[in-house]
Amino acid sequence: MKSLAAAFAFLALTGAVGACDLGSEGGTSDPGDSTTGTDEQPEPPPEPAPPPDDPGDPGEPGDPGDPGGDDDCTLQPPPPGRFPAPQTDVVPSVGTNTTFDVATWNIENFTVEDDTPRLVADLIASLALDFVAVQEVVDEDAFDELVERLPGYDGVLADIGAFHNLGFIYRADLATVTNPTVWFRDDRFGFPREPFGVTVTVNPCSDQSFDFVAITVHLKAGRGGEDADRRLAANLALEELTRELVETVDEDVLLLGDFNDRLTTNGGREVMEPWLDSPRYRMQTLAAEADDFYSFVPSRVFYDHIITTVGLDAETAGNVGFVAQLDRQYGQYVDRVSDHLPVVIRLPLPE
């Protein structure tokens, strides 16, 4: 693999990405709606791009450019929080001890109620998920509480200046997350909420480690013609970015999030065509949608997708995406948690 920090910085300088300053606060504006499409946001002020690393630098021991790490490599999960441990038996588990279990989950205007962080923590722990991309985070304090309620987990939020934020929650005893990056800050047409990406290294202290770039998205909502045009523009830009990442950063890229389009309708296929008609990608949710599963409960349609590059074929090992059917397993799920369901894919851990 190439030096990831240097390559991400190079993309930032070329205008493809913008650095994500995790120490600054995102602004707010009128809320976006997953079904109505009222998700416009004011354009945030531009941020300076960071200087690139030396492309010839092989990387410090333990950084993503050196997956094996050093002899003293240890993972340091956050210390225990002030909350009781989450329940682990409220729904059947979908994760296993032999897989790195990845999910995308639109957690709908998080939080729906004051108790939602506890409920979501119980569900993540019960599902046994290792890495979760979340969309529609409204309350940053509630996100921090959610992470703190999950012992051994850590989290990172984007700085995109939107009412609906994006983030990742992950097991810090199993993976590291580095290079947080926001893309397309200047493209308000395609991205009312800019994509957010990180580098994930699984088992970084082991000689059996593997890594990939994860990008989460929440594309334009709404069923109008302009809404579809904006989602198509976003998918075209994302596909071009993914090809650049494969060439300059890592051939293993995983995109996941709320694409707000179906794969089995003529209109949806037109919008998602950049992914469906290329041998470079695997649409990991196509089979589940074709089998009449759904991820958006009110309309019973499939909007939340997982896409992998062919470079991840070995890591997915033929596994495809599936839906955790929490609306059938957890009482008052839509009222108390979200109108979207988690969509999951398992990546087998090397033996």
138-171 confidence digits (pLDDT tens):
999 999 999 999 999 999 999 887 789 999 999 9
Sign for the pseudo-dihedral over CA of 243, 249, 255, 259 = negative
Stronger pLDDT, 14 or 177, i.e. the higher one:
177
In a domain, 46, yes or no: no
257-271 confidence digits (pLDDT tens):
999 999 999 999 999
Angle at CA 310, nearest 5°, toward 203 and 107? 65
In a domain, 101, yes or no: yes
- pLDDT of the residue at 64: 38
Give the residue carrying structure tokens 């894919």. 345
How far apart, in whole angstroms, are the C-alpha atoms of residue 221 and residue 35? Answer: 6
In a domain, 130, yes or no: yes
How far apart, in whole angstroms, are the C-alpha atoms of residue 96 and residue 177? Answer: 21
- pLDDT of the residue at 22: 37
Give the residue carrying structure tokens 């990056």. 181
Beta strands 131-137 and 99-110, pairing class: parallel
| Residue type at position 268 | G
- Provide the domain count of the chain: 1
316-325 confidence digits (pLDDT tens):
999 999 999 9
How far apart, in whole angstroms, are the C-alpha atoms of residue 174 and residue 85? Answer: 19
In a domain, 337, yes or no: yes
Stronger pLDDT, 25 or 76, i.e. the higher one:
76
The answer, yes or no, to whether residue 44 has pLDDT greater than 60, is no
Question: pLDDT tier at 13 (50, 70, 90 boundaries)?
Answer: very low
- Tell me the mean pLDDT in the region 201-224: 96
230-279 confidence digits (pLDDT tens):
999 999 999 999 999 999 999 999 999 999 999 999 999 999 999 999 99
C-beta separation of 111 from 117 below 8 A: yes
Residues with Cβ within 8 Å of 305's Cβ and at least 6 positions away in sequence, in order, are: 104, 255, 256, 257, 259, 263, 272, 283, 284, 285, 321, 343
Q: Tell me the CATH number at 338.
A: 3.60.10.10
Helix (H) or strand (E) holding 315: helix 313-316
Q: What is the CA radius of gyration of the chain?
A: 19
Angle at CA 57, nearest 5°, toward 54 and 60? 120
- pLDDT of the residue at 76: 80
- pLDDT of the residue at 33: 45
How high does pLDDT run on average in the chain? 85
In a domain, 321, yes or no: yes
Range of the domain at 315: 4-20+93-348
- pLDDT of the residue at 4: 53
In a domain, 150, yes or no: yes
In a domain, 291, yes or no: yes
